[in-house]
Amino acid sequence: MKIQKIYLLLLTLVALLFSCGNEDGTHISNDPGETEDVLLIASDTVAVFERPDAESKKWHELSPGESVVIVGKTADGWLGYDPADPMTENLGALRIRWIAPNGKYILQGDSSSLSEIWHPQIQFTYAITSVETYLLENPKANADELLVLPSGTVAAITRMDGEWFEIDLGEGTSALDGTGWVKSSDCELFGDMSVVPMAEEPPE
């Protein structure tokens, strides 16, 4: 008798889980994939930038009537979208392009549902690992291995030494902090390498 009561209680709990939300018993999902797209429609020419900063490089212009699906935003209101461009598909999180807030456009959909997403800072040049690669302690092939970086990891380049880049994981998409060295041949680049300093030669 006790087992039967427990079984009925479990069935009741399952029924409640599948009927929560609406009075008619339909299921309300919290899956972001089921949320309505936020569409930006240009009402005039709208500038598109590589980074969420008006001082960054202009990448494109939307023509009046042209629309894009917004995938995220910054804390200060810049809107990001994925252009699905073959030229940017290898850039990982850096493929997102940015539109300034309060521009000449209309937003359709619930823009308050947009999440803040990682974005590149104007002052950094970034490396994007194109293959799984080791982060090394020094710019030498036989240096100690600190960890393995998966393909698509984005991090700011802080110094360069020949074929090696020193990267800062804290300024990128990784959840980790710290610096280390990767081979430049294992990376795509985003930004101006002329602003990256060379590593100082150790004293003799």
- How confident is the model over 8-17, as pLDDT tens digits? 333 333 333 3
141-163: average pLDDT: 95
First to last CA, the chain: 86
- 1-10, 97-106, 111-120, 193-202: which range is least confident on average? 1-10
Tokens of 2: 């006790």
Give a yes or no: residue 53 inside a domain: yes
Q: How far is CA 28 from CA 10, 56, 110, 112, 169, in A?
A: 21, 41, 17, 19, 38
Give a yes or no: residue 106 inside a domain: yes
Q: Do 131 and 101 belong to one domain?
A: no
Range of the domain at 166: 126-195
| C-beta of residue 120 within 8 angstroms of C-beta of residue 55 | no
Residue 129: is its pLDDT beyond 60? yes
What is the predicted pLDDT for the residue at 87? 78
Q: How many domains would you assign to the chain? A: 2
50-67: average pLDDT: 96
Residue 89: is its pLDDT beyond 80? no
Residue 5: is its pLDDT beyond 70? no
Look up the CATH number of the domain holding residue 57.
2.30.30
Q: Do 102 and 60 belong to one domain?
A: yes
Mean pLDDT of the chain, nearest integer: 84
* pLDDT above 90: percentage of residues in the chain: 73
Pairing of strands 179-183, 126-129: unpaired
Rounded distance between C-alpha atoms, residue 21 and residue 157, angstroms: 48
What is the predicted pLDDT for the residue at 201? 53
Residue 35: is its pLDDT beyond 80? no
What is the predicted pLDDT for the residue at 17? 36
87-113: average pLDDT: 91
105-123: average pLDDT: 95
Q: What is the pTM of this model?
A: 0.75
Q: How far is CA 197 from CA 157, 183, 204, in A?
A: 9, 16, 21
